[in-house]
Structure 1
């Protein structure tokens, strides 16, 4: 009983983060439990289409001057995250399996005079995901990628280059079986 009360409070609190931000537009949002929305006050725009649905334990970060556009009838399963520092757009009728991750940025780094990784500087490039796409569980989409309409990205794929429309991508892992007598 007490858990249910706390869960309602947490759900309302996270919904208010979206509803109270002046640059967020949403319609018919369905949100599960323990979702986390981090929206910079200086973001450009967040737009969530009709019937956007987020299951549980979702993490969405939209940074300063960044833009996130999600189409109608979008579904995001448990433990997914969107990390948007420039621009991410997701088409209509698209669904994400569990644990899908989108990153439109990388940490900046230098190799000379010595190797150094920046904790606060990033290189960015937009991500675009078309209509009628299905990203299976544990898919990672990296910066600068466009996935065309009607694509299926199989479980466990890391997408680091463009995928043309009407394409199925599979992760061909070789399973090595050693049987013991």
Structure 2
């Protein structure tokens, strides 16, 4: 039996992102995001109802400021009191777990998808999805980018503008592009 592109994506195999089923799921996400991003803040509260329903799980008092963007939504899990500031983007082609009391600054980007290195395969829409895990009590500074397959340990700090290409140990502070341990930490 052949696997669907969605099943391949979920399994961490190469899949074609140009697929009717995946596009239909992205349309559902775009509708929820539109509601969240355009709803009066007094009515929206911590996040729009359609977005809250779309996400994989949402801990108590988790908050997402508008505007926000994600690819699918259902792969995102937020811990309790997690905060995503304005402009965050999560391309959740794989699981994205963000722990409790974790803070993401404005315009933080999380990318789970990696496109094929071969140009002909990229042209066909081939990509692979790898999960991102961010622990509890983490602070990710504004405009940081977290790449596919990265795990950030509890209590870590990612400096603003950093590009995180590999795992960050618990309680470490990393800065730069690529992100490296900060001096004195």
The TM-score bracket by the shorter chain reads 0.5 to 0.7
Match for 1:171 among 176, 180, 185?
176
Over alpha carbons, which structure has the higher Rg?
1
Distance 1:123 1:60 in 2: 17
Greater fraction strand = 1
Aligned positions of 1:10-159 closer than 5 A: 15-18=48-51, 21=54, 24=55, 46-62=56-72, 67-110=75-118, 117-118=122-123, 120-159=125-164
1:117 to 1:172, Cα distance in 2 relative to 1, 3 A: closer
Note the residue ranges of structure 1 that are not aligned, 5 or more in a row: 1-5, 25-45, 174-181
RMSD across aligned C-alpha pairs, in angstroms?
2.6
TM-score by length of 1: 0.67
TM-score by length of 2: 0.66
Is the Cα contact below 8 Å between 2:94 and 2:129 reproduced in 1? Answer: yes
Note the residue ranges of structure 2 that are not aligned, 5 or more in a row: 1-37, 179-185
Greater fraction helix = 2
Distance 2:70 2:139 in 1: 19
Distance 1:7 1:150 in 2: 33
Aligned length: 138
1:8 is the counterpart of 2:54: no
Is the Cα contact below 8 Å between 2:150 and 2:165 reproduced in 1? Answer: yes
Q: Give the equivalent residue in structure 1 for 2:23.
A: none
Is the Cα contact below 8 Å between 1:50 and 1:73 reproduced in 2? Answer: yes
1:19 to 1:117, Cα distance in 2 relative to 1, 3 A: closer
Instruction: Using CA pairs under 8 Å that are at least 6 residues apart, name the structure with larger relative contact order, 1 or 2.
Output: 2
Distance 1:161 1:172 in 2: 11
Distance 1:164 1:117 in 2: 32
Is the Cα contact below 8 Å between 2:162 and 2:177 reproduced in 1? Answer: no
